[in-house]
Amino acid sequence: MVDDARRHASYPLSLPKIDVNVANTARTWNYMVGGKDNFAADREAARQLVMVAPVMVAAALASRAFLRRTVRYLVGGAGIRQFLDIGTGLPTAGSTHEVAQSISPECRVVYVDNDPVVLTHARALLTSAPEGATSYIDADARDPHAIIAEAGRTLDFTRPVAIIMVDLLNFIRDNQTVHFIMSALIDAVPSRSHCAIMHPASDLDPAMLEAERRWNRLAPQKIRLRSRAEVAALVDGLVPVEPGLVTVSEWRPDEAELAPAQLVPLYGVVARKP
């Protein structure tokens, strides 16, 4: 009963267990993208990653820029009005609903994360324009059927949905599980739905492999980088939107971003269900 209530809560009903002495994924990422919701252990983890892979600084910012551009494309170019953003992270300027509703206020956005730290900040994600809606689900991506069932309270699964997974699937290390998640989600959405993925690359910059090893020593939520072929396999059966599977800085760069954008070892792809 309490668990059920907590799942739908716009804020936690009881304080979850949070250890500020251990590097936390959402807080470390928050630090990397310029946020303030982080602690010394998170900043130290980020420092260690950047020490072995200095490109991570540009990569984190390029990833957020990719998220903004994909959401803009999905609303403005593909006509999408419903979003399922899994692996949301801590609220940061330019969250999915802010970008989507700035173009079309009736957009409906469901956020999903399994981290109690994110749950405690979820209220900041529930600031929908009155014409649209946002909700937050405290759930694990490895349980896609539960996510779909809960998300159905906010989203209409007979109409196209964009599934956003930016820097999420690298936390699902097992290949069978990652493919199970992808097919369960894609099966649940109708034709003309889209999927936007950012996944760190294993085959573009050897420094990233050292960063992966460091992170996996420091943090409880371990990661796995994937090659281009492995990321392409995630969207097998979908139709990639131009320019296809590229690094995030190459995915439809804004004119303003053209000059400074640095190539970063993160793959980005947006693909449509035929």
Q: Cα separation of 67 and 89, whole Å?
A: 13
**Part in contact with ligand SAM (CB under 6 A); list of ranges 21-29, 74-82, 153-161, 256-264:** 21-29
| Backbone phi, psi, residue 146, to 5° | -65, -40
Give the nearest distance from C-beta 197 to ligand SAM in angstroms.
11
Q: Give the dihedral of Cα atoms 207, 213, 217, 223; nearest 10 deg.
A: 110
| Binding segment toward ligand SAM, per CB under 6 A, in 82-90, 123-131, 236-244, 247-255 | 82-90
Min. distance of Cβ 191 from ligand SAM in angstroms? Answer: 26
The interface with ligand SAM within residues 144-173 (CB under 6 A) comprises 166-168, 171
Q: Which residues contact 168 (CB under 8 A, 6 or more apart)?
A: 86, 87, 141
| Contact with ligand SAM (CB under 6 A) among 38, 81, 82, 89 | 89
For residue 246, give the nearest of 190, 204, 192 by alpha carbon. 204
**Tokens, residue 247:** 């690094």
Residue nearest to ligand SAM (CB): 89
Instruction: State which amino acid sits at residue 143.
Output: D
DSSP string, 26-41: HHHHHHHTT-S---HH
Examine residue 80 and tell whether it contacts ligand SAM (CB under 6 A).
no
Q: For residue 233, with 0-12 CB atoms within 10 Å meaning exposed, 13-18 middle and 19 or more buried, which class applies?
A: middle
Options 115, 150, 212, 230; binder of ligand SAM; rule CB under 6 A: 115
**Out of 56, 75, 87, 182, which residue is the one contacting ligand SAM (CB under 6 A)?**
87
Q: Which of 113, 150, 205, 212 binds ligand SAM (CB under 6 A)?
A: 113
Among 129, 221, 244, 246, binds ligand SAM (CB under 6 A): 221
Q: Which of 165, 136, 166, 133 is nearest to 150 (CA)?
A: 136
User: Shortest gap between Cβ of 31 and ligand SAM (angstroms)?
Assistant: 11
**Positions in the binding site for ligand SAM (CB under 6 A):** 25-26, 29, 63-64, 67, 87-89, 113-115, 118, 140-142, 166-168, 171, 221
